Amino acid sequence: MTLQSARSLARVGAAARADFPYFAAHPDTAYLDSGATSQRPASVIDAEAAFARSDYAAVHRGSSMATGEATAAFEDARERVAAFVGAGEREIAWQAGATDALNTIALGMSDASLGLGDERFALREGDEILVTEAEHHANLIPWQRLARRTGAVLRHVPVNDAGMWTIDDLRAQVGPRTRVVAFAHVSNVTGQIAPVADVAAAAHAVGAYTVLDACQSVPHLPVDLAALGVDFAAFSSHKMLGPTGIGALYGRAELLDALPPARTGGSMITTVTMEDAQFLPSPHRLEAGTQPVSQAVGFGAAVDYLSRVGMDAVAAHEAEMAALLVDAAASVPGVRVVGPAAGEPRAALVSVIVDGVHAHDVGQFLDDRGVTVRTGHHCAQPLHRRLGVAATTRASASVYTTADDVERFKAALGEVRAFFGADR
């Protein structure tokens, strides 16, 4: 079977919309805000609701049949999410979201630096943490705080006028004192796709750990974290057709076993005395307290849906949407597209600057035309400062996005400057 024939059988674009109740409730909406939060298929909503109705109970606590059944569903979801990203089941720890996962890594390293955990994660004064100027705040602020706590130096790879960085610029920043390299697989503003394996190789050459923000890649591209060679990664359920309130922390098992837990309490310990505590192996050592059980079940159902469609089909569909989005925005006079130029690889999102019109006004106008987009700095203020603007307007696609959605975006965007008198 050819790729084209395989894609014709997959539920992407218009065929996929029937699986998503949102579009039945909003048939006239072009939803182009999946980069912020994706819609959920009925199978995900139904799986979470069915569990809550008939199988809901505490997990890993007690010996009742109810606990056993709930725990089985909880751990089965972990196995499926792990397999989806090429990980072992001990290499995925549930977190409150990707932001929480990134903080867990940074806080664990902070505790290690205070002598509260494995020495391999300790940072000392003069050590270096490297990020890029394009990072989401969730992959910047935790490292700022870690640097301040430890005396480490936070360095960054600069971006160019289009908001993009290069592997050569990153390699130039990596040195013998580099301990952590944290970066996004896909920029949530520019859509740039990072050369992950090359970054991992550069970091590992000097003994540094790699931390990958995979929020904008795992829902849209085939991703094998083990094959990419990263040490840690974070991704979130609500951007990949699943529930809010849960994300995943990936780490090689031997690293998660050694990472000091950022949060402590029940369910993650082996022995507790009045003076000390010993913790379970991964992933449970990183999952203190009551767990998001029904959300985990929904997360598992989300990766089931994407697996049925096939990530090759998802990626091929979204590559088409990316090209259409860039062409649509670039064809409108007075609109500047940031990130990769037309014809260059990018994720299925496009952020634009409209001459003479603030991004919030652009978004409000588009919303009035039934086109849902995201406006603001997208939790990436340093990047926008480098671009010379306070905010951009972002349109982002998913498995259910259609060419008609993009045409409506193009038509509405083409009316903006005239409406606000910016074309005079």
Give yes or no for a contact between 259 and 118, defined as CB atoms under 8 angstroms apart: yes
pLDDT value for 6: 41
Alpha carbon of 163 to those of 80, 211, 219, 247: distances in Å? 35, 21, 22, 27
Give the number of other CB atoms < 10 A from CB of residue 291: 20
pLDDT at 267: 87
Give the burial class of 253: count Cβ atoms within 10 A of its Cβ; 0-12 exposed, 13-18 middle, 19 or more buried. Answer: middle
Q: Is the peptide bond before 283 cis (omega within 30 degrees of 0)?
A: yes
- Is 379 a catalytic site residue? yes
| CA–CA separation, 107 and 102 (whole Å) | 9
Classify residue 176 by burial, with Cβ atoms within 10 Å: 0-12, 13-18, 19+. exposed
Q: Which domains, from first to last, does the chain contain?
A: 3-31+310-419 (3.90.1150.10), 47-307 (3.40.640.10)
Structural element, H or E, at residue 352: strand 349-354
pLDDT at 390: 97
pLDDT tens per residue, range 278-306: 999 999 999 999 999 999 999 999 999 99
Residue 25: per-residue pLDDT: 98
Spell out, as residue ranges, where the chain has pLDDT lower than 70.
Answer: 1-9
Judge contact between 112 and 127, C-beta under 8 A. Answer: no
The type of residue at 246 is I
What pLDDT, on the 0 to 100 scale, is given for residue 2?
Answer: 40
> Strand 392-396 relative to strand 374-376: parallel, antiparallel, unpaired?
antiparallel
Determine the pLDDT at residue 69.
Answer: 92
| Active-site residue (options: 83, 379, 411, 422) | 379
E strand or H helix at 345, and its extent? none
Q: Record the pTM.
A: 0.95
Q: State the helix-helix crossing angle for 141-150 and 98-113, rounded to 10 degrees.
A: 10
Percent helix, strand, coil in the chain, to 5, is 45, 15, 40
pLDDT at 60: 87
Q: Which residues pair with 354 in a beta bridge?
A: 335
